[in-house]
Amino acid sequence: MVLDDLGSSLRGTLDKLRGKSRISEEDVEEVVKEIQRSLLQADVDVSLVMELSDNIKQRALEEEPPSGTPARDFVLRIVYEELVDLIGDSTELPLEEQTIMLAGLQGSGKTTSAAKMAWWFSKKGLRPAVIQTDTFRPGAYDQAKQMAERAEVEFYGDPDNDDPVDIARKGLEATEDADVHIVDTAGRHALEDDLIDEIEEIERVVDPDVSLLVLDAAIGQGAKEQAQQFDESVGIGGVVITKLDGTAKGGGALTAVNETDSSIAFLGTGEEVQDIERFEPEGFISRLLGMGDLGSLVERV
């Protein structure tokens, strides 16, 4: 991964607090400003950033630091706690029979993530199947099929059927013996009413245990509207962030989690089926703020 320079100003500001035991209002203002910068540069929703930074400011000024805690570490812990509070733990995915539906914007990484997740479940000893319902994008069937082959998992799709709802129904029947059904859908966005209706229909037939929103780590402020719309339509129970092997910070996922009142399930870190990780808050927050050493720092407090 490339060198991280975004968090360096935040680190610099925090370093100025090193050695101090009491924090002035001015110190807090300065730190909060830098945190705002980091979060805005990570694509977190602007109003959410303001809300978060107000909370941080208030707590830093009102709460009494535990005796012996340096001011810097105290502020840092508040920042960390506020963010953990918001993102929470990884989306719960019990290792048992279940159906998962993927939804999201065109090109966000749904088809790739479907195969990756199937691979992940198969490594956990379950028998997954991928069902491709995208009848719109050219080559979608072949792409999903080839990815499922690479993941060595069962696959259902029908290039001659142009009804996604029907494919979903037949796919679930045909893969009845599988433990985990992962239903891929065509890309769509919040303003495409017909396609939103379509995914609602697919959702009714599939009746998933959880629907996951697949988000590109680089998505900007539009994450909010997309998350709202998909949540309203199919109910989002978790978020998958893809393309984290680039430089994007994935702050859109924070927005989405906040909007949908859900959590993050998986992270995508490459184009191959093995390039998937379960979400883990500490590393993600460190990345958001551009501070690799955050976890260990907070632990000390």
Partner 1 sequence: KVKAAATGKFVIEEEDLEEPLWDLKMALLESDVEMSVAEEILDRVEEELVGERRKFTESTGSIVEDALREALLDVISVGQFDFDQRIADADKPLVIIFTGVNGVGKTTSIAKMSRYLAERGYSSVLANGDTYRAGANEQIGEHAAALDRKLISHQQGGDPAAVIYDAVEYAEANDVDVVLGDTAGRLHTNEGLMDQLEKIGRVVGPDMTLFVDEAVAGQDAVRRAEQFDEAVSIDGSILTKADADSNGGAAISVAHVTGKPILFLGVGQGYDHLERFDPEVVVARLLGDDE
The partner in contact with residue 69, picked from partner 1, ligand GTP, Mg ion, none with C-beta cut-offs of 5 to 8 angstroms by kind, is: none
Specify the residue, 110 or 249, whose C-beta has the smaller distance to Mg ion.
Answer: 110
Q: Phi and psi (nearest 5°) for 181?
A: -105, 125
- For residue 125, the surrounding DSSP H or E stretch is none
The partner in contact with residue 77, picked from ligand GTP, partner 1, Mg ion, none with C-beta cut-offs of 5 to 8 angstroms by kind, is: none
Residues near partner 1 (CB under 8 A) are: 1-2, 37, 40-43, 46, 105-109, 136-147, 150, 189-191, 216-222, 226, 243, 245-249, 251-252, 271
Using an 8 Å Cβ cutoff, are 218 and 243 in contact?
yes
Rg (the chain; Cα; Å): 21
Gap between the Cα atoms of 254 and 46, Å rounded:
11
Q: Which stretch binds Mg ion (CB under 5 A): 35-43, 76-84, 96-104, 107-115?
A: 107-115
For 23, left (φ over 0), alpha (ψ -120 to 50), or beta?
beta
Using an 8 Å Cβ cutoff, are 142 and 211 in contact?
no
Specify the residue, 110 or 181, whose C-beta has the smaller distance to Mg ion.
Answer: 110
Q: In what order do the strands lie in the sheet with 180-184?
A: 154-156, 128-132, 180-184, 98-103, 210-216, 238-242, 264-268, 276-278
Least separation in angstroms between residue 101's CB and partner 1 is: 19
293 near ligand GTP, rule: CB under 6 A: no
Gap between the Cα atoms of 78 and 81, Å rounded:
5
Q: Which stretch binds ligand GTP (CB under 6 A): 44-52, 63-71, 264-272, 290-298?
A: 264-272
270 near ligand GTP, rule: CB under 6 A: yes
Q: Which stretch binds ligand GTP (CB under 6 A): 9-17, 133-141, 164-172, 278-286?
A: 133-141
179 near ligand GTP, rule: CB under 6 A: no
Nearest to 164 by CA among 189, 187, 148: 187
Rule CB under 6 A: choose which of 7, 251, 252, 268 binds ligand GTP. Answer: 268
Gap between the Cα atoms of 186 and 135, Å rounded:
7
Specify the residue, 84 or 210, whose C-beta has the smaller distance to ligand GTP.
Answer: 210
Q: Which residue is nearest to ligand GTP (CB)?
A: 187
113 near Mg ion, rule: CB under 5 A: no
Least separation in angstroms between residue 115's CB and ligand GTP is: 8
Residue that is written with structure tokens 């978060």 in the block: 52
| Distance (Å) of CA 101 to CA 209, 243, 288 | 8, 20, 27
Nearest to 172 by CA among 101, 116, 110, 235: 101
Least separation in angstroms between residue 125's CB and ligand GTP is: 24
142 near ligand GTP, rule: CB under 6 A: no
Q: Which stretch binds ligand GTP (CB under 6 A): 32-40, 184-192, 195-203, 256-264?
A: 184-192
Sort strands 276-278 and 210-216 into parallel, antiparallel or unpaired. Answer: unpaired
Specify the residue, 109 or 171, whose C-beta has the smaller distance to partner 1.
Answer: 109
111 near Mg ion, rule: CB under 5 A: yes
The partner in contact with residue 268, picked from Mg ion, partner 1, ligand GTP, none with C-beta cut-offs of 5 to 8 angstroms by kind, is: ligand GTP
